[in-house]
Homo-oligomer: A and B are copies of this chain.
Amino acid sequence: MDPIRAARGTELSALGWQQEAALRMLHNNLDPEVAERPQDLVVYGGTGKAARDWPSFHALTRTLRSLRDDETMLVQSGRPVGVFRTHEWAPRVLIANSNLVGDWATWPEFRRLEALGLTMYGQMTAGSWIYIGTQGILQGTYETFAAVAAKRFGGSLAGTLTLTAGCGGMGGAQPLAVTMNDGVCLVIDVDAARLRRRVDTRYLDMVASDLDEALATVLKAKAERRALSVGVVGNAATLVPEILARGVGVDIVTDQTSAHDPLSYVPEGVDPGDAPDYAAKKPEEFTDRARASMAKHVEAMVGFLDAGTEVFDYGNSIRGEAKLGGYERAFDFPGFVPAYIRPLFCEGKGPFRWAALSGDPADIAATDRAILELFPENESLARWIRMAGERVAFQGLPARICWLGYGERDKAGLRFNELVASGAVTAPIVIGRDHLDCGSVASPYRETEAMRDGSDAIADWPLLNALVNTASGASWVSIHHGGGVGIGRSIHAGQVTVADGTPLAAQKIERVLTNDPGMGVIRHVDAGYERAEQVAAEHGVRVPMRESDDVT
């Protein structure tokens, strides 16, 4: 079979732009530039797929091409299972991926059902057809470091030094995200090849020959308030304590080694080249040693914390593993969501993204300009948009991502719809987002860790999010189980809405892009966050429990 690639341009192979958009984005998810293993239908995240199998893929394509403007296709874990007559305001596609009844929500049961051909892993944006490549990871990491800067360093990382480890698939975005925030970054990786690859792709500026050179280089840049990223080869369990002991002026410490899986974290004294073989042959012994190393690593992170440094867990479970390794104070520092992201969630902020169905990069440039015009006061946003324009190579259909909040997303969406209507862009724009968003996910180890009211595991919210997006005019809506944190650990929802330049699309965009982030605002009001209450009050978001009988 030829590689799959989304159609470009303005010629439709479906009966309307909403159907065409779903079709192009399904195909785009499987473009070799975008997907990790397109031949297996795997888009990203280990086994996150766009369709269950090839017959399902072909049936999806065929059904989208014939779907009418008042019809809706239902997708059950990557397979189209029905087409029903609905109405024009209804989504064209409704998707439920990887969902299991609670007592059966385990990896072994999931794998068993997957082997029977009954389900697939949808990840977050793989099975919901709105993955746009690694730009999303870079932007999320950029946003996190921007939030660190906002919280502690007056809005910029200029003149600060960040120490981290792990320069792999996700972690490799850290050095660039720090320098995009004008900071200095020192990143440790046990595997020299990983660091070199990041230099090749311009995510990392240089690799130092040893720790002394690395420290001298980063401290000089910090003193000069010059953005710079430096890699150093070594084991984090050795080097982090060493840097702590030397009393170096580090401002921020985090980590993105592959700590979530103790067979992936390389223990001290083990050569990274030998690790996979050793882990396969003696998994228990390897696990014990990895956890002992992580305990040492995290103990040093807590040492930095005690010294006043900003320290956070970056979603890799290193605190839990260090605790299993015998280190009691592992949870003294917080996860990144409660520390930095939750205040954004309270404002309905989250990863807004869009793609140009024309395939023309000039269309994204036009939307970039529109964003800069719409939000001139948001400097961090402007910095991101400009740098992304320069540095991000598109994968598949040209796309952009940035974080926008309640009252902003609808503005941007309506502007994009005007650009389509006026011909300033050459074809419709699809507007979607990650399932990781302010009001769309229940995930007690990540997005909903340590909610103020203890509601971490309440899963009503993502379901309401999917229902209200369906009721507001989204073009396709999805509910997934699993995603980034795995089976049994999260439920999340997504939506994509097509700006085709019509007045009807404008009405739908206005409602969806108000109500969708609105879910984030009310979810955080309900949990007792004051910032969310302020935002609700400022923007007139209705919260029935806060209204009195007099009001109505």
Give A543 Cβ to nearest chain B Cβ, in Å.
7
Contacts A77-B460, A82-B544 aside, 6 further interface pairs with beta carbons under 8 A come to A81-B544, A83-B544, A96-B461, A101-B491, A467-B477, A470-B470
Nearest-neighbour CB distance to chain B for A450, whole angstroms, equals: 14
Residues of A near any B CB (own CB < 8 A):
55-56, 58-60, 62-63, 65-66, 72-74, 76-77, 79-87, 89-91, 94, 96-106, 109, 113, 116, 118-119, 442-444, 453-461, 463-464, 466-468, 470-473, 477, 479, 481, 487-491, 507, 511, 514-515, 518-519, 522-523, 526, 541-545, 547, 549, 551-552
Q: Can you give 21 A-B contacts (C-beta < 8 A)? A: A60-B544, A76-B464, A77-B458, A79-B545, A81-B543, A81-B544, A82-B544, A84-B514, A86-B511, A87-B471, A89-B89, A100-B459, A101-B442, A101-B443, A101-B444, A102-B489, A103-B105, A113-B457, A113-B458, A118-B454, A467-B470
Q: Are B101 and A545 in contact (CB under 8 A)?
A: no
Copies in the complex: 2
- A119 vs B179: C-alpha distance in the bound complex, in angstroms? 44
Q: Are A468 and B84 in contact (CB-based, < 8 A)?
A: yes
- Please determine whether B116 and A62 come into contact, CB atoms closer than 8 angstroms: no
Q: Is B99's CB under 8 angstroms from A100's CB?
A: no
CB closest chain-B residue, reference A58: B549
Contacts of A118 in B (CB 8 A): 453-455, 458
Please, how many angstroms separate the alpha-carbon atoms of A511 and B100 in the complex? 28
Contact B515 A104 (CB under 8 A): no
The answer for the CA separation of A118 and B444 in the assembled complex, in Å, is 15
Q: Chain B residues near A83 (CB, 8 Å)? A: 542, 544
Max chain B C-beta neighbours (<10 A), residue from A65, A97, A518: A518
Contacts of A463 in B (CB 8 A): 96, 99, 463, 466, 479
User: If the complex has contacts A81-B522, A459-B101, A544-B82, are A471 and B63 also in contact, measured as CB distance less than 8 A?
Assistant: no
Are A547 and B84 interface neighbours, CB within 8 A?
no
Q: With a CB–CB cut-off of 8 A, which chain B residues contact A470?
A: 467, 470-471
Within 8 Å by CB of A105, from B63, B102, B547, lies B102
B460–A72 CB distance below 8 A: no
Please give, as numbers and ranges, the residues of chain B lying within 8 Å of A515 by CB-CB distance: 84-86
A545 touches B59 (CB 8 A): yes
Which of B453, B457, B552 is in CB contact (< 8 Å) with A66?
B552
Smallest distance from the beta carbon of A545 to chain B beta carbons, Å?
5
Interface contact A489-B103, CB-CB below 8 Å = yes
Determine the chain B residues whose CB is within 8 A of the CB of A473 once the complex forms.
Answer: 86-87
Closest CB of chain B to A486's CB: distance in Å?
9
Which residues of the other chain, B, contact A104 by a CB distance below 8 angstroms?
444, 456-457
- Decide: B82 and A543 in contact? CB cutoff 8 A: yes
- Give the distance to chain B from A68, nearest Cβ to Cβ, in Å: 11
Task: Tell me how far the C-beta of A469 lies from the nearest C-beta in chain B, rounded to whole angstroms.
Answer: 9
Min CB distance A88 to B, Å, is: 8
Q: A542 CA to B65 CA in the complex, in Å?
A: 15
**Which of chain B's residues have a CB closer than 8 A to the CB of A94?**
464, 467-468, 471
**Of the candidates B55, B443, B461, B466, which one forms a contact with A467 in the assembled complex, judged by CB atoms under 8 Å apart?**
B466
- Of the residues B102, B457, B511, B543, contact of A488 by C-beta under 8 Å: B102
> Contact: B100 with A457, CB < 8 Å?
yes
Instruction: Given A55-B545, A63-B552, check contact A464 B96 (CB 8 Å).
Output: yes
Which residues on the B side are within 8 Å of A547 (C-beta)? Answer: 59, 62-63
- Of B77, B489, B549, the contact of A62 (CB 8 Å cutoff): B549
Residue on B nearest A522 in the bound complex, by CB: B82
The answer for the CA separation of A99 and B80 in the assembled complex, in Å, is 26
Q: How far is the CA of A263 from the CA of B237 in the complex (A)?
A: 54
